[in-house]
Structure 1
Amino acid sequence: MNPLYVALDFENKQQTLKFLEMNDLAKVPVKVGMELFYKEGPSIIKELKQSEHPVFLDLKLHDIPATVKRAMKNLASLEVDVVNVHTQGGSRMIESAIEGLTEGSQGDRPLLLAVTQLTSTDETMLKKELLTNHSMEEVVAHYAQLSKNSGADGVVCSVKEVKQIEKNCGSDFLKLTPGIRQADDDLHDQVRVATPYEAGLTGSQSIVVGRSITQAKDPRRTYDQIKEEFLHGKKQYRGSVT
């Protein structure tokens, strides 16, 4: 995986490509989620790949194994670099996803990550709405182990769970962490969040950053600052380095 993916949470292809071009973000790794993919379909992926952007296609598939296998076979043909599923779909679904990716790939298959729990989920929601009698830490650790045993390359988790997952699953099992914010940014709908500095300290191999970059006054400079903070442990706030 690449260390930093920019979440392209834009309404359409025109806004997306204009943002990348105007802000000198050629070839940077990007994440395409449901909003943009459902609007533009495979064409947005093809254009990004033609421009040499590594692509994490974040659709979080969760369905019966046969359906996920066929869907992943189609997604692999787009030559994306990383895709994901929900761990809650179970071991057979994860195994089927890998089968589909392998069948649909011309060369190396895309990396498969499994989502443990969304970063918008907290302990209260876990217990009262999802009727889970275990702690967030226990649930995420169990899901991570299930994902590894099923053949996934890694997980999508919050920074708060990275160390436990590494302890249980080893350092080679990939950890990608969304919910990344600079220290003075608005949290929006995220609850289990962290700064790039904190993510780097815990052992996350990759982070996803959206609004902190896409809504910054200088997106390119902010991208470079966040990447430096994550990789080299330099705390940075609005252009200053400490």
Structure 2
Amino acid sequence: MNPIIIALDFQTGQEALAFIDQFPTSQSLFVKVGMELFYREDNQILTQLKVRGCKIFLDLKLHDIPNTVFQSAKILSQLGVDMVTIHAAGGSKMIQAAHDGLVSGAGTKKIPKLLAVTQLTSTSEKVLHEELHIGLTLQESVLSLARLAVSNGADGVICAAPEAPMIHKNIGKDFLCVTPGIRLPGQSHQDQQRVVSPKKAHIFGSDYIVVGRSITQASNKLAAFKRVQASWNE
């Protein structure tokens, strides 16, 4: 398993593909296509990435009424991606609708993994309490949303790496913890709050780590990718 998902945080498909093409064709890559890139390039970017042999994490974070999410998930499941995301805060019926939509749309194809966002890694305790008016602690909120997700058909969650042990302990080892907020030692946290190194994420039990700027903004992209691999494997 390749645990490193590279976030293709580029403004255009041309930039994203130029980045991918710097890697040897023998290098198996798992990449994240987020809202910015997908909204600009649509399905074309997915097709080009699949031609290059990439596994794809399509991170659109669906959050709407259950019927809308069902129909959207049904379409996404036909795009040949490996993972899709929703917001767990949409509630049980919405999560179940996303699951059912993926199953309905996939037909004989492989069903994408359904991942539910718990709390964004840019969210702090202060934001949780003072802006979102949630009385639980950050960890309590994350675990509550993870339980809601698993009980309604999700395959895993998006969470901060330090929350992975709690989730695996309470829900199970097979429930995926995909963790953004990854930085190499000494790098700026930028807009992230709950940040760890690849090594720390591995120790915490992350199943996959999402790494963007540490690789995509490095002068030598392949060398940066190898540094992330080395840190994970320490």
Counterpart AA for 1:42:
N
Partner Cα distance (1:172, 1:100) in 2: 22
Provide the residue aligned with 2:53 in structure 1. Answer: 52
Partner Cα distance (1:38, 1:229) in 2: 33
1:27: how far off? 4.0
RMSD: 1.2
Write out the 4+ residue segments of structure 1 that deviate beyond 4 Å after TM superposition.
Answer: none
Provide the residue aligned with 2:5 in structure 1. Answer: 5
Provide the residue aligned with 2:141 in structure 1. Answer: 139
Q: Taking structure 1 as the reference length, what is the TM-score of the superposition?
A: 0.93
What is the aligned residue count?
A: 232
Provide the residue aligned with 2:87 in structure 1. Answer: 86
Residue in structure 1 matching 2:159, options 128, 144, 157: 157
Residue in structure 2 matching 1:173, options 172, 175, 181: 175
Query: SS of 2:29's equivalent?
Result: coil
Query: SS of 1:16's equivalent?
Result: helix
Is the deviation greater in 77-86 or in 1-10?
1-10
Q: Which runs of 5+ in 1 are unaligned?
A: 235-242
1:124: how far off? 0.2
Q: Is 1:63 paired with 2:64? A: yes
Counterpart AA for 2:15:
Q
Partner Cα distance (1:35, 1:141) in 2: 29
Partner Cα distance (1:103, 1:119) in 2: 31
Contact 1:23 1:218 survives alignment (8 Å): no
Q: Is 1:72 paired with 2:73? A: yes
Partner Cα distance (1:104, 1:179) in 2: 31
Provide the residue aligned with 2:18 in structure 1. Answer: 18
Q: What is the percent sequence identity of the aligned residues?
A: 46
Partner Cα distance (2:83, 2:136) in 1: 30
Q: Is 1:225 paired with 2:224? A: no
